[in-house]
């Protein structure tokens, strides 16, 4: 067997199952299969392998499922791909072949069913990796911060890695040499996800992703033109293969395999006393008219229902676009342009007295923590945690505190006004956030690209 050309990426992980993405390589002559086997750490015998036949429709990749696992338990696994000389082989028949597995042994831990156990998540966005003539230029710059995250995880194990937008920049050379065809976009994903440090981190940390605009085009869909139809289709095809495929948005079929037919990008998942709702802020927008919205009707209704019904102590809403405060120069791209829908969400939280709601965002190339309060409801407070960028481009500026609108209400209606305020400084450098949920507080620690803690905020839970 051969080492995966991309991956393995450990995706959605529960107490009893784990989804693992990997990619093989094209063979013009023979069928290609991927395989994974696992064992509990400390055991000698490997499980029977799980196999999948790879094909070009999914860029020679698949997400395989490890099932019937024990909760809160460490596991080891091996993963690879191989081709066969018999054209009629199936995943069932290749299971009978004596295979020589790759030497690399990966490790992960299943989720815990204990609700009150400490949970720790790393959040990041906007990871710039430039390609020049198809080759990453100074890739160590875009990969170094993942080494710092891995070092943190070695000291303080992570329950999840949330990558909340702009994992790739399809449009990084949009003026002189835009990537519009599928092979070029897929090559960008393969380059971004196969760098050594991010590869090592994602192989053993449950990784959850959602797209933002640069997975398609800057400020999508506001800047789209009639010539962008093929770009959109190609960009979303690549997104579905490399980001969506190993997450909770895809359902499992009766035979336990992943249904690769994508119906939506937004999703939710639960982990102990924290619930996550990851929104799709890009592909369902209605840009004008009486029902202007960032989230589609079904998605908004699902979000509001989740907010009301979730039993978790802390509810994280991932919005790749900054939820609040508003930016002065975000124009039609930010939530300010969809304020009616945002106010409906905030009013649902306030009127139902929902506690401990945290909006988690990226996008702006600056990191911060803020809070939102209501003029007539002293019990209402929600928080915004922003983590961006993991790696900036020299061509793009970092956000600064004076880019934010803090001297006027975020929204006003008959019930009163919502007003945002900072509870941290603006961080204008490459960084990531580590969220630690324990007892009655959420600690938000921002780390620079070398892993040094540069800002900390403690949010008291109610």
- Rounded to whole angstroms, how far apart are CA atoms 336 and 334? 5
CB atoms closer than 10 angstroms to residue 410 = 22
Question: 391 in a domain, yes or no?
Answer: yes
Q: What is the DSSP string of 249-304?
A: TSPBPTTS-B----S-S-EEEEETTEEEEE---SSS-B-SSTT-BSS-HHHHHHHH
Round to whole Å and give the CA distance between 415 and 351.
Answer: 10
In a domain, 225, yes or no: yes
Question: Which residues does 135 contact at the CB level (< 8 Å), separation at least 6?
Answer: none
pTM for this prediction: 0.96
C-alpha R_g of the chain:
22
- Same domain for 102 and 190? no
- Decide if pLDDT at 177 tops 60: no
Comparing CA positions, the residue from 212, 211, 193 lying closest to residue 203 is: 193
pLDDT score at 217: 92
Residue 174 has pLDDT above 60, yes or no: no
Alpha-carbon gap, residue 150 to 152, rounded angstroms = 5
Q: Does residue 173 carry a pLDDT above 70?
A: no
Residue 39 has pLDDT above 60, yes or no: yes
Q: Using the 3D structure, point to which of 46, 78, 109 is the last residue of a domain.
A: 109
Is residue 114 situated within a structural domain? no
Whether 1 is covered by a domain: the verdict is no
- Angle, to 10 degrees, between the axis of helix 196-204 and the axis of helix 139-155? 30
Stretch 161-183: mean pLDDT, rounded? Answer: 81
- DSSP letter, residue 404: B
105 and 123 inside one domain: no
Q: What percent of the chain has pLDDT over 70?
A: 98
Q: Is residue 140 part of a domain?
A: yes
Listed in sequence order, the residues at least 6 apart from 230 whose beta carbon sits closer than 8 Å to its beta carbon are 180, 181
**Structure-token pair, residue 408:** 């006027």
Residue 40: its pLDDT value, please?
A: 97
- 144 three-state secondary structure: helix
Q: How far is CA 399 from CA 312, 327, 392, 423, in A?
A: 33, 9, 11, 16
CATH code, domain carrying 35: 2.60.40.10
Tell me: do 67 and 185 sit in the same domain. Answer: no
For residue range 374-413, what is the model confidence (pLDDT) as tens digits? 999 999 999 999 999 999 988 889 999 999 999 999 999 8
Quick one: pLDDT band at residue 179, thresholds 50, 70, 90?
low
Where in the sequence is the domain holding 78, given as residue range(s)? 6-109
Residues 79, 214, single domain; the answer is no
* Mean pLDDT confidence for 37-63: 96
216 and 264 inside one domain: yes
* Mean pLDDT, residues 156-165: 97
| Claim to verify: residue 405 and residue 454 sit in the same structural domain | yes
Q: Which residue in 111, 103, 55, 51 sits closest to 77, CA to CA?
A: 103
For residues 407 and 278, membership in a common domain is answered with yes
Q: Both 140 and 30 in a single domain? A: no
Residue-averaged pLDDT of the chain: 94
Rounding to the nearest 10 degrees, give the CA dihedral for residues 340, 232, 34, 249: 10
Who's near 60: CB < 8 A, 6+ residues apart? 5, 23, 24, 25, 26, 32, 54, 81
Could you tell me which of 131, 138, 123 has the C-alpha nearest to residue 187? 131
Same domain, 50 and 163: no
CA distance 220 to 224: 6
Count how many domains the chain has. 2
Longest CA–CA separation in the chain, Å: 72
- As beta bridge partners, residue 250 has none
Tell me whether residue 38 is in a domain: yes
**Residue after which a domain boundary falls, among 109, 140, 158:** 109
Residue 162 domain-assigned? Answer: yes
Q: What pLDDT digit, counting tens, does each position of 186-231 carry?
A: 999 999 999 999 999 999 999 999 999 999 999 999 888 888 999 9
- Model confidence at 424, pLDDT cuts 50, 70, 90, reads very high
Residue 414 lies in a domain: yes
């Amino acid at each position: 067997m051969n080492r995966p050309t991309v991956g393995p990426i450990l995706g959605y992980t529960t107490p009893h199952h784990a989804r693992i993405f990997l990619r093989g390589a094209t063979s013009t002559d023979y069928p290609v299969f991927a395989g994974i086997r696992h064992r509990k750490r400390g055991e000698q015998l490997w499980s029977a392998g799980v196999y999948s036949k790879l094909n070009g429709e999914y860029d020679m990749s698949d997400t395989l499922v490890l099932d019937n696992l024990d909760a809160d338990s460490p596991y080891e696994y091996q993963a690879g791909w191989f081709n066969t000389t018999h054209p009629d082989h199936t995943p069932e028949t290749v299971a009978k072949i004596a295979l020589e597995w790759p030497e690399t042994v990966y490790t992960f831990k299943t989720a815990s069913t204990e609700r009150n156990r400490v949970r720790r998540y790393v959040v990041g966005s906007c990871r710039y990796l430039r390609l020049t003539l198809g080759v990453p230029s100074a890739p160590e710059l875009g990969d170094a911060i993942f080494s710092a995250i891995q070092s943190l995880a070695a000291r303080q194990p992570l329950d999840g890695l949330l990558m909340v937008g702009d994992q790739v920049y399809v449009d990084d050379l949009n003026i002189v040499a835009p990537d519009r065809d599928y092979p070029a976009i897929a090559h960008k994903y393969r380059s971004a996800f196969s760098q050594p440090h991010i590869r090592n981190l994602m192989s053993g940390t449950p990784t959850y992703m959602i797209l933002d605009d640069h997975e398609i085009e800057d400020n999508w869909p506001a800047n789209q033109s009639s010539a962008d139809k093929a770009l959109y289709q190609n960009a979303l095809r690549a997104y579905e293969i490399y980001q969506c495929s190993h997450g909770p948005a895809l359902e499992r079929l009766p035979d336990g395999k992943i249904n690769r037919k994508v119906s939506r990008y937004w999703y939710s998942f639960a982990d102990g006393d924290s619930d996550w709702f990851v929104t799709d802020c890009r592909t369902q927008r209605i840009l004008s008219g009486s029902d202007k919205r960032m989230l589609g009707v079904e998605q908004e209704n699902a979000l509001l229902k989740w907010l009301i019904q979730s039993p978790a102590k802390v509810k994280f809403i991932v919005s790749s676009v900054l939820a609040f405060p508003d930016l002065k120069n975000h124009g039609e791209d930010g939530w300010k342009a969809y304020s009616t829908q945002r106010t409906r969400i905030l009013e649902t939280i306030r009127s139902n007295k929902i506690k401990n709601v945290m909006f988690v965002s990226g996008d702006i190339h600056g990191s911060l923590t803020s809070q939102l309060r209501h003029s007539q409801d002293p019990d209402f407070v929600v928080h915004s945690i922003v983590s961006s960028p993991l790696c900036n481009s020299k061509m793009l500026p970092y956000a600064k505190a004076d880019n934010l609108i803090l001297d006027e209400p975020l929204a006003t209606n008959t019930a009163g006004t919502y007003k945002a305020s900072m509870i941290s400084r603006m961080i204008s450098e490459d960084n990531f956030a580590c969220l630690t949920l324990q007892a009655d507080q959420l600690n938000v620690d921002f780390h620079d690209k070398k892993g040094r803690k540069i800002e900390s905020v403690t949010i008291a839970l109610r």
